[in-house]
Amino acid sequence: MRMSCGLTYRSMKSRWITKLSRPCSHGPMGLFVPPSPPLDPKKVKELQRFITLSKKLLVMTGAGISTESGIPDYRSEKVGLYARTDRRPIQHVDFVRSAPIRQRYWARNFVGWPQFSAHQPNPAHWALSNWEKRGKLHWLVTQNVDALHTKAGNQRLTELHGCMHRVLCLNCGEQTPRGLLQERFQDLNPSWSAEAQGVAPDGDVFLSEEQVQTFQVPSCVRCGGPLKPDVVFFGDTVNPDKVDFVHRRVREADSLLVVGSSLQVPDSVKVVNCPLLPLIWTSFSWISLCFRSGQVYSGYRFILTAREKKLPIAILNIGPTRSDDLACLKLNSRCGELLPLIVPH
């Protein structure tokens, strides 16, 4: 079942336009948010007490906080990308190795970018921003790449998997804003057009091979190297220094709140501290090797650090999570409905 809206991208006298190929039948929030029970006043009071008692609160957010902004997640039952399509996210090793794969990725991302970049924070993002301004939020860690926390004004923030609004050169490391790359795409492809169906959590859309064959991809203006979004693709590694930084913030905290994450070990992003990595980078065997050595990290590992420190843990997520048995409070509610009800004092 396809629930997302189609996009058409066409050039008209050097001016690009985006339009829906068919109308959406529902608002963005209803498209990608799984069903949840009505708010339980008792649970709301319990979360209020949890937040009130917290003096150095660390919040970790996942894709579930952004579904109410119209960005689908991957795993949600019936409404996640995996449930609605057989498409899977691009793998890091494929992107790095293959120019045709990079061409296909950037063509699809070019079409999806205007819609993806236009998404705005929902009440849950604004609530967490308010908590920071009121001194309640010690640190915010997000697994999302959509920049919605930044748009909401959060500054005490770590984007664990990077941000789609930045572009990185794979050769020299030069960073540029994604918006500037969109302009370069338009200049290189003045007569190119495509129609797509569906936008993924990372701004990707679905195009045919025929559509992408003529799409021109610019190189780094500094060194001519290939460009990549400044995000951790599936199968890539998160910077160990960033992981250590987050662990330090967890140890400084006195409580931890998970918002919109199932905390599953990804079939996706791996954080690896493996000395043999340069020798085995060319094979997916490094994934199983580092699994066996216990070196793979996920959001769950931060929960384990919190448990070791005996921090109280609360989880707000529709559906079960990997850490439900470690939490003193579990809430199955929409993030945007519940968080604005909490007074950060």
Q: Among candidates 298, 309, 297, 299, which has minimal Cα distance to 258?
A: 299
Chain centre to alpha carbon of residue 140: 14
What Cα–Cα distance (Å) separates residue 140 from each residue in 34, 62, 87, 132?
24, 11, 30, 9
Take residue 298 and report the two structure tokens written for it.
């996920």
Binding-site residues: 62-82, 143-146, 169, 172, 220, 223, 260-262, 317-319, 335
75: closest CA among 216, 261, 220, 325?
A: 261
Calpha distance 68→339 (Å, rounded): 13
Is residue 125 annotated as part of the catalytic site, yes or no? no
Question: Which residues is 250 bridged to in the sheet?
Answer: none
Residue pair 144/66 in contact (Cβ under 8 Å)? The answer is yes
Cα separation values, 329 from 47, 101, 104, 138, 332, Å: 8, 44, 44, 20, 10
Please enumerate, by residue number, every residue annotated as part of a binding site for NAD(+).
62-82, 143-146, 260-262, 317-319, 335
Question: CB of 309 within 8 A of CB of 250?
Answer: yes
Q: Which of 119, 138, 161, 165 is catalytic?
A: 161
Candidates 302, 4, 338, 276; CA nearest to 158 is 302
Active site residues: 161
